[in-house]
Amino acid sequence: MKRQIPLLIAMIAGFVMIVAYFIPYTVSWGDTVIVWFDVLAAIAFVLGGGNLLKVHLKKTSDQVPGWGYSVITIVAFVIMLVIGLGKIGVNPAAKYPEFAWSGKFSEMGSPFWWLYEYVFKPLQATIFSMLAFYVASAAFRAFRAKNIEAILLLATAFIILLGRTAAGPALTGWFPDAIEGLEADKLTSYLMTVFNTAGNRAIMIGIALGTASVSLKILLGVERSYLGSGEE
């Protein structure tokens, strides 16, 4: 029973979405299901926060090596959460001044906004920017023109890297009209619209067929791994 009902839920929810795509009368059913889905997606954010707290509280209580950092995570989490949920330092909405809670939680100048602007934003942007360094290191160490496949990959990367900056026109802009098509920027465009499009289109078709078959298997109850293996 603990496995049959979830299978039935997945099946009904999925087939409602499919039917709603084809039969106009059932569009509102699909909309209802999808709005519930959106609400659950927001609750999943709460779950994410709860899970983080659970993991780090456990690390702290077990005093595993590096548990001090878990304490920092918990403190940062709790501060941001309390400030955000409590709308601390937020003015009411100008339209509804008599409602103290009507203001926007991320109002400019509020503590929540300050933490976003000066802590969240620089940290997230810098963590992502680190990849520029690693991609350079990987290029130096790992990209070897060992065979024709690797040469094709490297040659394309070169053309794109140069063709999408001022280096392309500077290096190849003098080409005579007869071989104008080989100028770096034109070659880049050709590579992207022909070779890249062809390759990605084939990958896309493959993924589409794979996604459709996996979805159908789940909806028909053939694929059940998402229910876990436990008997409980």
Residue nearer to other proteins on the CB measure, 21 or 63: 21
Phi and psi torsions of 105, nearest 5°: -60, -25
- Of residues 119-138, those binding other proteins (CB under 8 A): 119-133, 135-137
Question: What character string, x for contact with other proteins (CB under 8 A) and - otherwise, covers 135-164?
Answer: xxx-xxxxxxx--xxx-xxxxxxxxxxx-x
Residue nearer to other proteins on the CB measure, 64 or 167: 167
Residue nearer to other proteins on the CB measure, 77 or 175: 77
- Of residues 8-67, those binding other proteins (CB under 8 A): 9-18, 21, 27, 30-52, 54, 66
User: How far apart (Å, rounded) are the C-alpha atoms in residues 96 and 101?
Assistant: 9
Q: Does 6 bind other proteins (CB under 8 A)?
A: yes
Binding footprint of other proteins, residue count (CB under 8 A):
158
- Of residues 172-231, those binding other proteins (CB under 8 A): 181, 185, 189-209, 211-212, 214-216, 218-219, 226-228, 230
- Of residues 62-101, those binding other proteins (CB under 8 A): 66, 69-70, 72-81, 84-85, 91-99, 101
User: How far apart (Å, rounded) are the C-alpha atoms in residues 221 and 232?
Assistant: 18
